[in-house]
Amino acid sequence: MNMLTYRSSGILLPVSALPGPYGIGTMGVQARQFVDFLSAAGQHYWQILPLVPPGDGNSPYMSSSSFAGNPWFLDLEELAEEGLLTPEELLSSRCANPDRVDYDWVRQTRAPLFEAAWARGEETYGPLVDAFLEEEKDWLPDFVLYQAVKEAYQGAPLEQWPRAVRLREETALAQLRAERKERCRYFAFLQYLFFRQWTALKQYANERNIQILGDLPIYVSPDSAEVWAQPALFQLDGELVPTAVAGVPPDAFTDLGQHWGNPLYDWDYHKKTGFAWWRRRGTHMARLYDAVRIDHFRAFHTYWSIPLGAESAKEGHWEPGPGMDLVEVLAGVPGLSLIAEDLGDLDDAAREFIAGSGLPGMKVLVYAFDPVGESAYLPHNCTPNSVVYTGTHDTPTFVQWLFDEAGPAEREYAMDYLRLREDEGFGWGAVRGAWSTPSRLAIAPMQDLLGLGADARMNAPGTMGEHNWSWRVRQEALNPSVSEHLRRLTRVYRRCL
């Protein structure tokens, strides 16, 4: 289903980056205030990053589940209102740093809070949790057992579990199900709370004509519930070790390519099942979001396969993906609108495949300004069936690109083309350029709306570091001056009434 039926615009801001006093953004009052900010600014879309639990490097693209929600996003104040937490416990979980997600702080403070909430709520919420386990039986029992077993082994990754458990031998599995039954219910309780709160937040947004644009990571972590419970989905050996892993060849981000390390899919198996797992995943996404960006969509055509043990991604090679068969399956999921993340190394065949899918692709301004050649990303070349971005979570902010990364000729061309002015703000100039394009949907990361530089970059692909995935917006930035200016600009370019 194509979502681009009228001109509109929106802002990219991960839930983790919302303001608030508890070390990370949550689905609480600040999320609703951001929805109100978007509504006042004449926007129709709130784009977020994946809601799944983060994995290595705190990345939501290396998750332990394709279906679970991240309990760190739970609104603690709502739990306190329900009597599950005390005012003293809320006070103990407050974090002083408003500018960065303090992942260590979140890990240290959330676990005891959630344990206390379950201890107080088990009698009341227990029947609801049991019903939720039954309702979500196609993924939740496997996920909570994975969580409970991982906890039993002090957080050790799947590859370090005892062989009988790792390979799900029936006797070992039955014993663990019995021993960890109550811990499974605890982890299911957190998921029940997450999906209840998210459903309420999405309803709040939709009632204010704000659509949620979600994100579907194409891969999962090798340390995940899916690899453990459904190994046939992946290219694994008999010990659940990937025989090859995901990444991309050398590109604009790195000369060595990117070695992601995710297990690759066994596409022959998926085809034999009629892509049943993907159909379930698409149905799940349609419940959570109004539209979904498919991460690394080019892998549907061909994917980069890196041999196990390779020293760099340069040793990989292209393999055929599932092709249009999977696109048609996902396009047939009721209520699922899709955007193709079609960036990166594309040959003519991949471009033809993406165009043939009919899905709107992405145009990114920070890649547009080749001073001597033409670019499909230049505003005048953007097509109506596309989503134009000033930048993404993986690019530098527009201001960072302009002054730190663009060459002198690139910078001069961008300044001339967009008529950038310091008195207006270079970020506003980029937003104006994106909003003016023929693309029916225009998106700006919140950082570009505020004209922020390198400190506000969300992620630098191919790197690990405390700055990745940690930037947060301050509450005072979501003010009427910003929303009114954005609304005026949005009306000028006919993206709101």
Tens-place pLDDT, residues 465-482:
889 999 999 999 999 999
Helices (H), 378-453: 398-400, 408-418, 426-435, 446-449
Alpha-carbon span 166 to 92, nearest angstrom: 37
Burial class (CB in 10 A: 0-12, 13-18, 19+), 24: buried
- pLDDT value for 2: 59
Token pair recorded at residue 323: 């092709």
- pLDDT value for 461: 87
- pLDDT value for 344: 80
Contact of 249 with 257, CB cutoff 8 Å: yes
Active site residues: 295, 341, 394
Please give the torsion angle defined by the CA atoms of residues 174, 178, 182 and 185, in that order, rounded to the nearest 10 degrees.
30
- pLDDT value for 255: 78
Alpha-carbon span 474 to 60, nearest angstrom: 22
- pLDDT value for 379: 97
- pLDDT value for 497: 66
* Averaged confidence pLDDT in the chain: 95
Number of H helices, E strands in the chain: 18, 12
**Report field, pTM of the whole predicted structure over 0.95:** yes
State how far the alpha carbon of 344 is from the alpha carbons of 251, 325, 379, in Å: 7, 22, 19
* Per-residue model confidence as pLDDT tens digits over 226-260: 999 999 999 999 999 999 999 999 876 677 888 99
Token pair recorded at residue 489: 């600009």
Instruction: Give every residue of the chain whose pLDDT is below 50, as ranges.
Output: none
Task: Provide DSSP, 152-221.
Answer: HTTT--GGGS-HHHHTT-HHHHHHHHHHTHHHHHHHHHHHHHHHHHHHHHHHHHHHTT-EEEEEE-S---
What SS3 state is found at 306? Answer: strand
